[in-house]
Amino acid sequence: MRSQGVIGWLLVLPAAALLALFTHYPVVATIVDSFYATSRAGRPGPFVGLENYQVMVADEVFWKSLWNNVWYSLGTIPLSITLALVMALWVNSAMRGRTWLRVAFFTPTILPMIAVANIWLFFYTPQYGLLEKLTTSLGFATHNWLGTESTALACVMVVAIWKDAGFFMIFYLAALQSIPPSLAEAAALEGAPRGYYLRRIVLPLLMPTTLFVLVNAVINSFRLVDHIVVMTRGGPNNATSLLLFHIYQVGFSFWDTGYAAALTLVLLAILAAAAIGQFVFLDRKVHYQ
Amino acid sequence: MTSVRNTWRTIAAGFACLAAAALAQTEISFYYPVAVGGPITKIVDQMAADFEKENPGIKVKPVYAGTYQETVVKAITAHKAGTPPATAIILSTDMYTLIDEDAVVPFDDFAKTADDKKWLASFFPAFMANSRTGGKTWGIPFQRSTIVLYWNKEIFKEAGLDPEKGPANWKEMLEYAQKLTVRDASGNVTRWGVQIPSSGFPYWLFQGLTTPNGVELMNAAGNETYFDKPAVVEALQYWVDLGRKHKVMSPGVIEWGTTPKDFFEKKIAMMWTTTGNLTNVKKNAKFDFGVAMLPAAKRRGSPTGGGNFYIFKKAPKAEQEAAVKFAKFMTTPERAAQWGMDTGYVAVRPDAWETAKMKAYVKDFPVAAIARDQLKFSVAELSTHENQRVTKALNDGLQAALTGAKSPAEAMKDAQAEAARILRAYRR
């Protein structure tokens, strides 16, 4: 019995060691670092207690980035999930050319974000960009989409929705195909309208997938900032600065690693809260088969 | 038994040989950022191979490290891990950052012979403004540039302007731009007169306005900025007015990356961009274009830009010496000239422009010399301690003014306050 326990521990050791090295140790190190000033020129930084957090409270760019991120999440998550569901329902139905449609919907996911951002940069270009050609042909005045504070964030949100929706669609599609066709047949025999079947049978059966997708979408909205780097670099005047982008700037442009550690903790806390909240509260409402 | 011992002896001798060979062979890694288009890595590979041929004891390993920003991040991270490259090309403006990190050593430590000292003094003084501080030379100019004005000669002709003459001063640039801006029947602009990009690093373009207006943005020690001086605010007002008051430039923040494309598409008649784009424009513009120095206000002027060679402190002595040799090799007059012709960067030393090849090139393509001639009027690119943070304060202010969120005076006052707060620690 005892030796079995040892073997068990030995079996999890490689995974546990990797987890500790690449997940737990960095988290602990980040917490510790956030209480120290940034080391300069090889001299270790002194212990400063909560100073980094005081700096954060006074940092306008931090608050701006945080609010931007809240709007960004609220704007991208519901839309991309809804879109993914609609697309999945569509390409799940029997129709001609659905393979092509599936490929078309999934393509944005395969493309690297940097490439995508470069393409969209030209879509948004004033005057001869794709969007401008469309709006000016309809008689609207030209607009500098990425160069105006009021529209820049919405523009980068559209890119994220376009890219994420296809990815989430794949999960919905897989879930839809695992629903036994007998249910649809039974519903049809009972004379249930399609809307009723969708609302009372398909959507509840998709809830576990929705939860999974939701968790991923929340994480993505805080984690994916590649297109910001390419398209706006947080500008104009921080209108598109998201939390992770701000952390990157503080950490790797300003080399203020102490403060960056404190900011990282905020991001970690938000993500942990979101994940726990979703698993604890939503799990109860999720219907498992 | 004897045979076994002999075998061991042979193996040991073999190892000794290998060790000796390794000692004779110094390998230096060289971080290189790819900042402009074209087959630039091929050119650098070739130059490294030529160097190895001339110096059999040294191997150069170019590492293409991404953008300037990514390169400095990689170099500093490697420095913190204790294994930096022997040398790297990094922005001249990162000099204070690298010094503050104690990551680099000055070239003066290696310049022992008279020949070496002559080499350190052989570059355009305008480029050395960002390469020297505290009486030491920390960077060797390699791929350097300035801002120039490009104009479309065809559109000039259409608008009834002299196609051979760019605007000489701010007043002319505004007048030209007003004539060059085209609106359709419903009042929508189909072509802007002028374009000064403002995404990413607007502070650099802004220096093309403040320098002619007779004001510098920082002191030579890099611990004080002058963002709220009246002449600075005046320069920003001129920039903002182009878009908001006179409506001859697209309002809001204009993307740097798409500016050359706007020019090729004839959506703009004049653009401000780096001389590093010269070869790009030469290849892609399907019309006659002109290149001029930036228009003058109280004087002429433009900031310099681009990357320098740096030597890293934690690299072994032998590698550092090899790296200095390599930097010297890369900046001989002939190579500096060739590099300038291949890329559009400004050849970094006056005698490079006296080489036969360069003379022939300039005769054939006279605009190549515009950037060189502008160097007389050039100043150092904005660079301070905590450089990225200070420039961000200025960038945010500029973008706030350009998008109309703040007035120029207010934006510059806020930027100055932020910069003063950041630089507080360096002024004691």
B183 touches chain A (CB under 8 A): no
Tell me, yes or no, whether B362 and B400 share the same domain: no
A63 touches chain B (CB under 8 A): no
Instruction: Among A46-55, B245-254, B267-276, B326-335, name the one with the lowest average pLDDT.
Output: A46-55
The torsion of the CA quartet A177, A181, A183, A185, rounded to 10 degrees, works out to: 140
Mean of pLDDT values over B205-233: 93
Q: Where are the alpha helices (DSSP H) in B193-332?
A: 202-210, 230-244, 259-264, 278-284, 317-330
Tokens describing residue B390: 């200070």
Confidence of residue B419 (pLDDT cuts 50, 70, 90): very high
Tell me, yes or no, whether B207 and B97 share the same domain: no
In chain B, how many domains are there?
Answer: 2
Chain segment A122-150, per-residue pLDDT in tens:
888 887 788 888 887 887 777 888 888 88
Chain segment B22-59, per-residue pLDDT in tens:
455 889 999 998 866 567 888 889 999 999 999 998 99
How are beta strands B140-152 and B289-292 bridged, if at all? antiparallel
Rg (CA), chain A: 24
Return d(Cα B261, Cα B285) in angstroms, integer. 9
Q: What's the angle, vertex CA B20, arms to CA B19 and CA B23, rounded to 5?
A: 85
Q: What does the DSSP 8-state code read for residue B112?
A: -
Percentage of chain B surpassing pLDDT 90? 58
Q: Which of A40, A149, A252 sits opposite B73 (nearest CB)?
A: A252
B424 touches chain A (CB under 8 A): no
Contacts of A253 in chain B (CB under 8 A): 69, 388-389, 392
Tell me, yes or no, whether B121 and B216 share the same domain: no
Tell me, yes or no, whether B73 and B157 share the same domain: no
pLDDT exceeds 90 at position A73:
yes
Q: Is B402 helix (H, G, I), strand (E, B) or coil?
A: helix
* Choice between A97 and A53, residue whose per-residue pLDDT is larger: A53
pLDDT at B8: 58
Q: Helix/strand/coil (H, E, C) string of chain A? A: CHHHHHHHHHHHHHHHHHHHHHHHHHHHHHHHHCCECCCECCECCCECCCHHHHHHHHCHHHHHHHHHHHHHHHHHHHHHHHHHHHHHHHHHCCCCCHHHHHHHHHHHHHCCHHHHHHHHHHHCCCCCCHHHHHHHHCCCCCCCCCCCHHHHHHHHHHHHHHHHHHHHHHHHHHHHHHCCHHHHHHHHHCCCCHHHHHHHHHHHHHHHHHHHHHHHHHHHHHHCCHHHHHHCCCCCCCCCCCHHHHHHHHHHHCCCHHHHHHHHHHHHHHHHHHHHHHHHHHHHHCCCC
Cα within 13 Å of Cα(B138), Cβ side: 25
Whether the CB-CB separation of B191 and B269 falls below 8 Å is answered with yes
In a domain, B373, yes or no: no
Chain segment B110-127, per-residue pLDDT in tens:
988 888 889 999 999 889
Taken in order of first residue, the domains within chain A and their CATH numbers are 59-285 (1.10.3720.10)
ipTM computed for the complex: 0.71
Tell me, yes or no, whether B7 and B31 share the same domain: yes
Among A114-128, B149-163, B275-289, the range of highest mean pLDDT: B149-163
Tell me, yes or no, whether B401 and B351 share the same domain: no
pLDDT exceeds 90 at position B228:
yes
Return d(Cα B338, Cα B335) in angstroms, integer. 5
Residue A40 and residue B188: Cβ atoms within 8 Å?
no
Whether the CB-CB separation of B256 and A116 falls below 8 Å is answered with no
In a domain, B164, yes or no: yes
Instruction: Among A90-104, B95-109, B380-394, name the one with the lowest average pLDDT.
Output: A90-104
Tell me, yes or no, whether B128 and B151 share the same domain: no
Q: Which of B101, B253, B388 sits opposite A147 (nearest CB)?
A: B253
pLDDT at A226: 87
In a domain, B374, yes or no: no
Amino acid at residue number A253: S
Instruction: List the CATH number of the domain containing B84.
Output: 3.40.190.10
Chain segment B240-255, per-residue pLDDT in tens:
999 999 999 988 889 8
In a domain, B224, yes or no: yes
Q: Which of B257, B392, B405 sits opposite A149 (nearest CB)?
A: B405
End-of-domain residue from the set B314, B342, B366: B366
Whether the CB-CB separation of A186 and A201 falls below 8 Å is answered with no
Tell me, yes or no, whether B314 and B236 share the same domain: no
H/E segment holding residue B49 = helix B40-54
Which segments within B6-158 are labelled E, that is strand?
26-32, 58-64, 87-91, 104-105, 132-133, 136-137, 140-152
pLDDT at B415: 94
pLDDT exceeds 80 at position B11:
no
How far, rounded to the nearest angstrom, does the alpha carbon of residue B353 sit from its chain's CA centroid?
19
Residue A255 distance to chain B (closest CA, Å): 9
Residue A235 and residue B200: Cβ atoms within 8 Å?
yes
Tell me, yes or no, whether B139 and B174 share the same domain: no
A137 to chain B: nearest residue by CA? B188
Burial of A191 (0-12, 13-18, 19+ CB in 10 A): exposed
pLDDT exceeds 70 at position A2:
no
In a domain, B372, yes or no: no
**Would you call the peptide bond into B408 cis, given omega within 30 degrees of 0 as the criterion?**
no
Whether the CB-CB separation of A258 and A38 falls below 8 Å is answered with yes
How are beta strands B132-133 and B182-183 bridged, if at all? unpaired
Return d(Cα B213, Cα A79) in angstroms, integer. 50
Tell me, yes or no, whether B61 and B120 share the same domain: yes
Tell me, yes or no, whether B89 and B138 share the same domain: yes
Which residue bears the tokens 């059966």? A205
pLDDT exceeds 80 at position B418:
yes
Residue B253's domain comprises 146-304+380-427
Tell me, yes or no, whether B322 and B295 share the same domain: no
Q: What is the pTM of this model?
A: 0.80
End-of-domain residue from the set B320, B336, B366: B366
A45 touches chain B (CB under 8 A): no
Contacts of A122 in chain B (CB under 8 A): 258, 261
